[in-house]
Amino acid sequence: MKVVLIEQDQEHRRVIQYMLESRKETVYAFPDAAKAWAFIEATPNIDVILTSLSTDGMSGLEVCWNARILADQRKGLYVIAMSENDDAELLVEALDTGADDFLQKPLHAETLHARMRVAERMILLQRQLVHLATRDPMTNLFNRRAFFEQVQNKITLSDSDEIFCAIVFDIDHFKKVNDTYGHDVGDEVIKTVATLAAAYKGVLARLGGEEFVLVTQGLSILQASRLADKLRQDIAETAIELNQSSVCVTSSFGVAVYRPGESIDDLLKRADLALYKSKNDGRNRVSAERPRMMQAC
């Protein structure tokens, strides 16, 4: 695990770091809480924060509070507070502020190692729960709710002139596949299409049934349409092997570009309209929305 250690006492910091590294943890040790917090914000995949409550500048309680807010975004962040004071009120305050556990200094190696094992189990459990809550169980792609969150976060954090395009696509005549070959084969078709689409860069999700969406960043609508056409070809040219035969399917695509200030749902509705055009024009093709006409002054 990646552990950030915040301890202003040099000797305590050295000893605790040695204890952690004996467990093969990756340790980032800081005497200053503010510098440690700047590192935490800039560094993804931090698993554990082990912080003294007695720190210079930013207090250990502030670290616990900020970490709890950050954990809502990153998931699986475990916070352990440390203090030489065994006051029950301090323990309660630390836990209420956001710490997951509390250790009294000086630390003993066996106790610290046991608490780290608890942290490891809790982090694993939380990440498993997050995975179940955000992923489609059949394809392992983002589900609809997680997709909306992921795309909105990307738009919020991007420059105002960044281009996002939504590529909505579904499998042509999918009901016929299920009726002819059975739902087991239909499931394999969905999994295969998901695997092919996952090779392309962007936020990919299964919206439900046989419908998918891929949101690209930094591509013009023309470039996104070309990407969609390449994926269309990949799907059409991939044979899904059965016991005695194989089945091929095609997909239809609709592409729309994000308009600043609109909702993700509005973006998908316009991509859906382009998808309907592909369906009406014969399927197995890509249609892009028409650009908005300039309004007369």
pLDDT of residue 69: 86
Per-residue pLDDT of the chain (297 residues; tens, 9 = 90+): 999 999 999 999 999 999 999 999 999 999 999 999 999 999 988 999 999 988 767 888 899 999 988 887 777 789 999 998 877 888 888 889 889 999 999 999 999 999 999 999 999 998 888 889 899 999 999 999 999 999 999 999 888 889 999 999 999 999 999 998 889 899 999 999 999 999 999 999 999 999 999 999 999 999 999 999 999 999 999 998 877 778 999 999 999 999 999 999 999 999 999 999 999 999 999 999 986 643 333
Annotated catalytic residue 210: yes
Contacts of 159 (CB under 8 A, 6+ apart): none
Lookup: tokens for 168: 């909505």
Domains identified in the chain and CATH numbers = 2-131 (3.40.50.2300), 144-288 (3.30.70.270)
Instruction: State residue 292's pLDDT score.
Output: 64
- Position 51 scores a pLDDT of 94
Query: Distance (Å, rounded) from C-alpha 268 to C-alpha 215?
Result: 10
Q: Answer yes or no: are the C-beta atoms of 115 and 39 closer than 8 Å.
A: no
pLDDT of residue 54: 82
* pLDDT the model gives residue 18: 96
* pLDDT for the residue numbered 296: 38
Task: For 27-56, give one letter per residue: b (16+ CB within 10 A) or e.
Answer: bbbbbebeebbeebeeeeebbbbbbbbbbe
pLDDT of 295 reads 36
Q: Which of 7, 210, 211, 289 is catalytic?
A: 210
pLDDT score, position 59:
86
Of how many residues is the chain composed? 297
